A and B are shown apart, each in its own frame.
Chain A
Amino acid sequence: MKARSKFLIGGAFVLSTAGYLMVSSIDETAQYYLTPTELASKVSDNPRFVKTGVKVGARVVNGTIKRDPSGRSLSFQMTDGAKVYNVVYTGIAPDTFTDGVDVVVEGRLDSNGTFQATTLLAKCASRYENAPEKYKDTPGYKAATAGPRA
């Protein structure tokens, strides 16, 4: 057999191994990535969907964050504007987690319809900030624009 065809066979072997690993680990680890509304409709279509672990992207409802003093767990509400879920998260919240930020939570719904999150990602809103309105609301700005203080 020519070296070229041998190489192609070897290459096909390497690539198919990689392909197999890709497919099998997607089967094992892939998660649905939903908005609260999509999650609600999945659950109403099929009540057993509750058991499926999912990722949900939503926004934290202002003023709903309750932190455990140890910093180990917290609860809040998240929404996409249409559907609101209570979330309980056990673990360390990232520094960027606060009122009104976009979060991505991983976990599943419990029997009460509360989302039990195992991971919590908060998007740091500032890095490539594009919304000019946003910084007008920061406390520093309000104070600054209120004029000089004694």
Chain B
Amino acid sequence: MILVGELSLWVALLMAAWTTIVSYSGGHQGRADLIRSGERALYATFAFTLVASIGIWTALFTHDFSLKFVASFTSINLPKVYTFTAFWAGQSGSMLFWCLILTMYAAIAVFSNRQTNRPMMPWVTGTLGVISLFFLMMMCFGANPYERIDWIPPDGRGMNPQLQNPGMAIHPPMLYLGLVATAVPFAFAVGALITRNLDAAWLGAVRRWALVSWFFLTIGITLGMWWAYVELGWAGYWAWDPVENSSFFPWLTGTAFLHSIMIQEKRGMLKKWNVTLVMATFLLSILGTFITRSGIIESVHAFAKSDVGYWFLYFLIASTALSAYLVATRLNDMKAKAELESMVSREAAFLYNNLVLVGICLATLWGTLLPILSEWVSGDKLNVGRPYFNTVNWPLGLLLLALTGIGPLIAWRRASVSNLRRQFTFPIALGVVVFVALIALGMRAPYALVSYLIAGFVMGTILQEFYKGIGARRRMYSEGLFAASMRLVGRNRRRYGGYIVHFGVVVMFCAFAGQLFVREVEPLVKTGDVVKATDAYGKEWTFTSQGLSSFNQLNRKVLAISFAVTRDGKPMGILSSEKRQHVDSRGEDTFEPSTEVGLLESPSQDVYMVFTGAVDAQTAAVHITFNPLVWWVWFGGIMMAFGGIIVMWPQAHRSERESGYVAEMKPRAVPELVGAGS
């Protein structure tokens, strides 16, 4: 199976090359046989990549340590689940995994669109073929997971303990599913530009794929935050590290696109902008991959410097040049059908939303690339850290949050005074009430107060929308509260799913503001010592040391410190943090010791404890952090993903009514009956 897999990799490479050549020439000459052959070759590329992946999994599970990849990342005593996930733990395996997802997406996209978007499909297929070809080539010649070593070690090195975590097991696949999905809209954009089919036709498919990408990126980024929080021990979840930022860029432009596409659908505006966003999203995910793989920017997440990174750079330069050329030569085909009529309109709100999202993206990109750019310009490497990103992105983020409330409620084209009064009186009132209440409760941090004011406003808009919608259904159809809410969301998935996503965003912003109220202590404790501390809510905590204990567990030796915890005299349970030394199957130490964080989670705050070192058999040094509202970051992430599912869920065809610009584009065979549809 391993040999079959290795050969399949090369066959997949040939298939991808074939796909590219015959699809492009088929599209160019309009020959249906070549086009069909290209499509089939793309399916074959997927099939052979799948076989190659199964080969690697076989090697992992049979512990074939003659493969460098298997020996580097697994050992005999590694738990089964991590043996499975070791597939994406190293450079070459993760590249294969990337190819697997890419070819799978390509096959699905081509199969589901082969009838609908006929003229542009050969170019879409060909472009997906080129991208697959690039990744497969890079893997076959640059980072081959089937590479052998000239000796067969009796056991592998094992997996880095920090990666032996459920979050890390599923974070990379989610991120890859998101990053790779940006390739499909990109391919459609190329197809649409080449064939000059730049009206509404290609948008349907592109929007679905952009949603898929957004959905997985959201989950991937949230899981990454969670992993960093529980595993890295610095009590935070986002450090503006280049690697974290890399996944954030395509998320930002993808989010911008999902909003601006609505303006094109309704009003036929922003065509150039949308094509640019689609292409930029893909190019940014390649840029992110380049940053993380090349090691060009110093990051906590280390990635051994390798030549593989530069393949991405060349690919990035080539595809950027091609994209720019295509857009520049097609500007005349992308004339807007309408103009912006008023600053007080949904179009304007969405435009500002796009501006801010892209602004955040550019500011973050600038900060991330500064070491490289400054070295080019002045010869000195300059570097910015968290203060830069926070200073720039807080105001932009709050503006974005406010637009989250304004955009969905303000009228299209030109909002009237009565529209504004009807829609915004309650939300503004709610924001002000929250603001005043927090001041009365003693909150003084200006950033936090402004954040909660805006969050209250946005929450008001969402509540009001649900209240009105549910009320209308109950009156019209005399449904119960539950049935009315279910059907309201079910019948308008895009709209109400979107509100649920916005709800998640508001919750996240509230949680971020909680970081302004972190309290921490760093005591040295002997067995029986009591540590007293006060949190941001003014509650008194005690931590009574239960002493150090050491024991063996699974594939590791553990040294643990435990505390009995009380809050205002009430027992809160036991809090333990561990130093773990992982061992291989012979009991030899592998890797550096890792620290397991002690965590007492609750919606109001987390108590986060890190065992920093043992002074002697009795005394431990610990770091305790009171971390308000972190729980809501995960909740907000779940809500965003949940809203995303609702938006993506396939709609039954009958309720899919097209309106506005899209409806005008479609030939209408049968005149609509008066009053049909609601």
Residue positions of A touching B, CB distance < 8 A: 3-4, 6-7, 10-11, 14-15, 17-18, 21-22, 24-26, 28-34, 55, 57, 67-72, 92, 94-98, 102, 104, 121, 123-132, 135, 138-141, 143-145, 149
Chain B residues within an 8 Å CB radius of A69: 613-616
A70 and B621 contact, CB distance less than 8 A: yes
Asked, given contacts A10-B343, A95-B593, A140-B584, whether A145 binds B302 with beta carbons under 8 Å apart, the answer is no
Instruction: Say yes or no: B381 contacts A18, CB within 8 Å.
Output: no
Taken together as a complex, chains A and B put the C-alpha atoms of A92 and B233 apart, in Å, by 10
B384 lies within 8 A of chain A by Cβ: yes
Which residues of A are found within 8 Å of B384, using beta-carbon distances? Answer: 25-26, 29-31
Which stretch (B115-123, B193-201, B251-259, B391-399) binds chain A? B391-399
Q: How far is A149 from B588 in the complex, measured between Cα atoms in Å?
A: 12
List residues of chain B with CB within 8 A of the CB of A129. 72-73, 90-91, 304
Chain A residues touching B, majority SS: mixed
Check A140 against B395 for contact (C-beta < 8 Å).
Answer: no
Q: How far is the CA of A34 from the CA of B75 in the complex (A)?
A: 38
Residues of B within 8 A of A18 (CB): 359, 362-363, 392, 395-396
Write the chain A residue with the least CB distance to B392. Answer: A21
- B268-294 contacts to A, CB under 8 A, are 293
What distance in Å separates the Cβ of B176 from its nearest Cβ neighbour in chain A? 14
The listed residue (B73, B300, B339, B623) touching A121 by CB distance below 8 A is: B300
Residues on A with C-beta less than 8 A from B359 are 14-15, 18
Tell yes or no: B542 within 8 A of A by CB.
no
**Does chain A have a CB within 8 A of B455?**
no
Q: For the complex, is B610 an interface residue (Cβ under 8 Å from A)?
A: yes
**Could you write out 21 A-B pairs with CB less than 8 Å apart?**
A3-B340, A10-B343, A14-B356, A17-B395, A18-B362, A18-B396, A22-B366, A25-B388, A30-B384, A34-B381, A67-B613, A72-B613, A98-B592, A128-B293, A132-B72, A132-B149, A141-B157, A144-B154, A144-B155, A144-B584, A144-B586
Neighbouring A residues of B380 by C-beta, 8 Å: 32, 34
Given the interface pairs A26-B388, A95-B162, A128-B303, the reply to whether A11 lies near B298 with Cβ below 8 Å is no
What class of interface size applies to chain B in its complex with A?
A: 35 or more
Contact A128 B304 (CB under 8 A): yes
Nearest neighbor of A67 in chain B, beta-carbon distance: B613
Most buried by B among A67, A71, A140: A140
A104, B590: Cβ atoms under 8 Å? no
Render B610-645 as a binary contact track against A, CB cut-off 8 A, 1 for contact.
101111100001010000000000000000000000
Q: Which A-chain residue is minimally distant from B383 (CB atoms)? A: A33
Contact check, B343 vs A149: say whether CB atoms are below 8 A apart.
no
Contacts of A67 in B (CB 8 A): 613
- From 43 to 84 in chain B, residues with beta carbon under 8 angstroms from any chain A beta carbon are 68, 71-73, 75
Q: Are B594 and A138 in contact (CB under 8 A)?
A: no
B383 and A55 form a contact (CB under 8 A)? yes
B320 in the interface (beta carbon within 8 A)? no
Determine which of B157, B363, B388 lies in contact with A29 in the assembled complex, contact meaning CB atoms within 8 Å: B388
**Least distance between A37 CB and chain B CB atoms (Å):** 13
Q: Is B228 an interface residue (CB 8 A)?
A: no
B91 near A128 (CB under 8 angstroms)? yes
A42 CB to closest chain B CB (Å) equals 9
In the bound complex, CA of A14 to CA of B71 (Å): 53
Contact B342 A3 (CB under 8 A): yes
Chain B, range 305-349, C-beta contacts under 8 Å to A: 305-306, 339-343, 345, 348
Tell me which of A10, A95, A102 has the highest count of chain B C-beta atoms within 10 A of its own C-beta: A95
Cβ contact within 8 Å between B302 and A123:
yes
Quick one: closest B residue to A95, CB to CB?
B594
**Contact of B591 with A by CB under 8 A:** yes
Q: Is the CB of A7 within 8 A of B351?
A: yes
**Residue numbers in B under 8 Å from A25 (CB-CB):** 384, 387-388, 391-392
Known A25-B384, A121-B298, A128-B302; 11 more pairs at CB < 8 Å:
A3-B348, A14-B352, A17-B395, A29-B391, A33-B298, A34-B380, A69-B615, A70-B612, A125-B302, A128-B94, A135-B157
The 10 closest A-B pairs by CB, nearest first: A71-B613, A123-B302, A33-B381, A71-B612, A128-B303, A130-B304, A70-B621, A25-B391, A33-B383, A140-B584
